[in-house]
Structure 1
Amino acid sequence: MSFLERYLWKSVLTSILLTWFSLALLDRFFAFLGELGDVSPETQYGNLQAFYYILMGTPKLLYDYFPTATLIGSLLGLGNLAANSELTAMRAAGVSIRQIVMMTLKLGLVLVVLIFVLGEWVAPHTELAASSFKLRMQQKQLAVGNQGIWVKDGNRILNIAKLWSEQKMEGISIYEINPEAGRIDTITHADRAERDANGWMLYDLNRKHIQEDGVTQEVLPQVHEDNLVPEQVLSIAAVKPNQLAASELADFIRHQRDNDLNSSRFEQAFWQHFTTPLSTLVMLIIAAPFVFSFQRNAGAGQRIFIGILIGIVFFLFNRTLGSIGIVYGIPPLLSATLPLLMFLFGGLWMLKRIR
Structure 2
Amino acid sequence: MRILDFYIGKILVRHIVVTIMVLLGLFTFVSFIDELSNLDKGSYGILEVFQYVLLLIPKTLYEVFPMAALIGSILGLSTLARDSELIVMRAAGVSILRIVLSVVKVGIIMAFVAMILGEVVSPYTQTKAEQVKLGAIQSNIRQKDDFGVWMRDENTYVNIGEVLPNLTLLNIKIFEFDERNFLRFLSTAEEGEYQLDKRRWLLKGLSRTMIDDNSSAADEVSAAYWTTGVDPNILRVFQIDPEQLSLWQLDKYIDHLGSNKQDTRSYELVFWSKVITPFATIVMLILAVPFVFKESRSGNLGRSLFFGIMIGLSFFIMNKAFGYFVALFSIPPMLGAALPTLIVSLLSIILIRRII
Distance of aligned partners of 1:189 and 1:339 in 2 relative to their CA distance in 1, 3 Å threshold: same
Q: Matched residues in 1 for 2:262 and 2:166: separation?
A: 12
User: 1:249 offset after TM fit, Å?
Assistant: 1.9
The residue aligned with 2:85 is 86
Q: Matched residues in 2 for 1:178 and 1:57: separation?
A: 42
Q: Matched residues in 2 for 1:125 and 1:193: separation?
A: 28
The residue aligned with 2:35 is 35
Q: Matched residues in 2 for 1:14 and 1:207: separation?
A: 64
**Per the alignment, in what secondary structure is the counterpart of residue 355 of structure 2?**
coil
User: 1:213 offset after TM fit, Å?
Assistant: 0.1
Letter in 1 for 2:277: T
The residue aligned with 1:20 is 20
Letter in 1 for 2:106: L
The residue aligned with 2:68 is 69
Q: Matched residues in 2 for 1:197 and 1:247: separation?
A: 34
The residue aligned with 1:263 is 264
Q: Matched residues in 1 for 2:208 and 2:92: separation?
A: 79
Identity of aligned pairs, percent?
Answer: 34
User: 1:226 offset after TM fit, Å?
Assistant: 4.0
Q: Matched residues in 1 for 2:245 and 2:61: separation?
A: 16
Q: Matched residues in 1 for 2:108 and 2:94: separation?
A: 21
**Per the alignment, in what secondary structure is the counterpart of residue 139 of structure 2?**
coil
So what's the TM-score if we normalise by structure 1?
0.88
Greater displacement, 72-81 / 286-295 = 286-295
Q: What do residues 235-263 of structure 1 show as CA deviations (whole Å, max 9, x unaligned)?
A: 22222222222222212221232344321
Q: Matched residues in 2 for 1:127 and 1:95: separation?
A: 45
Q: Matched residues in 2 for 1:140 and 1:303: separation?
A: 51
- Root mean square deviation, CA, Å: 2.6
User: In 2, are the aligned partners of 1:142 and 1:233 still within 8 Å (CA)?
Assistant: no
Q: Matched residues in 2 for 1:266 and 1:332: separation?
A: 9
So what's the TM-score if we normalise by structure 2?
0.88
User: 1:173 offset after TM fit, Å?
Assistant: 3.1
Structure 1: tracts of 5 or more residues without a match: none
Letter in 1 for 2:347: G
User: In 2, are the aligned partners of 1:17 and 1:73 still within 8 Å (CA)?
Assistant: yes
The residue aligned with 1:305 is 306
User: In 2, are the aligned partners of 1:76 and 1:303 still within 8 Å (CA)?
Assistant: no
Greater displacement, 283-292 / 245-254 = 245-254
**Per the alignment, in what secondary structure is the counterpart of residue 353 of structure 1?**
helix
Q: Matched residues in 1 for 2:275 and 2:7: separation?
A: 29
The residue aligned with 1:330 is 331
Q: Matched residues in 1 for 2:129 and 2:222: separation?
A: 34
Q: Matched residues in 2 for 1:284 and 1:224: separation?
A: 58
Q: What do residues 172-211 of structure 1 show as CA deviations (whole Å, max 9, x unaligned)?
A: 43212234x4322123456x646598966666x7765421
**Per the alignment, in what secondary structure is the counterpart of residue 262 of structure 1?**
coil
Q: Matched residues in 2 for 1:51 and 1:262: separation?
A: 34
**Per the alignment, in what secondary structure is the counterpart of residue 105 of structure 1?**
helix
Greater displacement, 157-166 / 2-11 = 157-166
Alignment of 1:182-261 (within 5 A): 182-189=181-188, 193=191, 195=193, 208-216=209-217, 224-227=223-226, 230-261=231-262
Q: What do residues 8-50 of structure 1 show as CA deviations (whole Å, max 9, x unaligned)?
A: 110001111110121001221232233223221x632111111
Distance of aligned partners of 1:236 and 1:91 in 2 relative to their CA distance in 1, 3 Å threshold: same
Q: Matched residues in 1 for 2:331 and 2:34: separation?
A: 34
The residue aligned with 1:165 is 165
User: In 2, are the aligned partners of 1:166 and 1:238 still within 8 Å (CA)?
Assistant: no
